[in-house]
Amino acid sequence: MIDEAPLPDGFVLHELDRVDSTNEEIRRLAEAGASSGLVVLAAQQTRGRGRYGRDWASPPGNLYASLLLRLDGPLATSAQLSFVAGLALAEALEPHAPPDAPVQLKWPNDILIRRAKTAGVLLESTGQINGGRAPWIIVGTGVNIVSSPDNTPYPATSLVAEGFAAVTPRALLGDYLVALVRWLDCWRTGGFAEVRRAWCARSFGLGDQIRLRLDREELSGRFVDVTESGALLLELDTGGRREIAAGDVFYPDR
């Protein structure tokens, strides 16, 4: 057994060989009263899920982890948490990257390496929200370390395929949580501005032409900015601007 660095203070690790979904497992534990800071790490998932209820392929070798947070802030502000998490994950991956493969962020919180999706974050909360406050939020994180799925609507890759230095799921989780603590602190004390600035500095496609697939329509235009609420500000090809809270970004070939 390789010695792993302990997780930062305040986190408790629950490791599993196999689970349906770490988000689902931590939801069950949250409903049973688990405390903020609980982390579930699984070697594989049988029903891993991504955004919009998509499947998240979860064979052994990749990182599948979920963190339970009980935040004081209103639910609206917790949308910003997805940027905090994406940023922390990008920073945890960076030291393993070869020099020609920067770790970039795709709105709202995918990790791209050489334009291909390598990791994603799925935030979930409870249906029972009191006064706009969520009793708990789950931050689910998947990183393609050794393998990536073939049949995705976007290009996908893995750390190994992109020549990253070897890293175990457990070691990567530790580095991610260290970065997360730093960015959560920055967010709590300084608000969203610094998180937004750092996120934008790593973003892929900001300022560029994009296509945006929403529930019932597809838009195209220029990705102008990220707003205070984390929405994507799109300057439409047809004129005018729209703030988009949720959707899939596609980049034209360049």
Shortest distance, CB of residue 147 to ligand BTN, whole angstroms? 13
Q: Give yes or no for a contact between 236 and 221, defined as CB atoms under 8 angstroms apart.
A: yes
Q: How many CB atoms lie within 10 A of CB 61?
A: 15
Shortest distance, CB of residue 19 to ligand BTN, whole angstroms? 9
Shortest distance, CB of residue 23 to ligand BTN, whole angstroms? 4
One symbol per residue from 51 to 80: x for binding ligand BTN (CB under 6 A), - otherwise; what is it?
Answer: x--x-x-------xxx--------------
Nearer to ligand BTN by Cβ, of 3 and 17: the residue is 17
CA angle 191/195/197 to nearest 5° reads: 115
3-state secondary structure 4-69: CCCCCCCCEEEEEEEECCHHHHHHHHHHCCCCCCEEEEEEEECCCECHHHCECCCCCCCEEEEEEE
* Spatial separation of the C-alpha atoms in residues 199 and 90, rounded to whole Å: 9
CA angle 230/254/194 to nearest 5° reads: 25
Of the candidate spans 50-58, 68-76, 81-89, 172-180, the one that interacts with ligand BTN by CB under 6 A turns out to be 50-58
One symbol per residue from 18 to 37: x for binding ligand BTN (CB under 6 A), - otherwise; what is it?
Answer: ---xxx--------------
Q: Give yes or no for a contact between 105 and 199, defined as CB atoms under 8 angstroms apart.
A: yes
Give strand pairing partners of 250.
211
Q: Which of 11, 67, 107, 110 binds ligand BTN (CB under 6 A)?
A: 110
Residue 11 is a binding residue for ligand BTN (CB under 6 A) = no
Q: Which of 118, 125, 141, 144 binds ligand BTN (CB under 6 A)?
A: 141
Shortest distance, CB of residue 241 to ligand BTN, whole angstroms? 26
Binding site residues, ligand BTN, CB under 6 A: 21-23, 45, 48-51, 54, 56, 64-66, 110, 120-122, 140-142
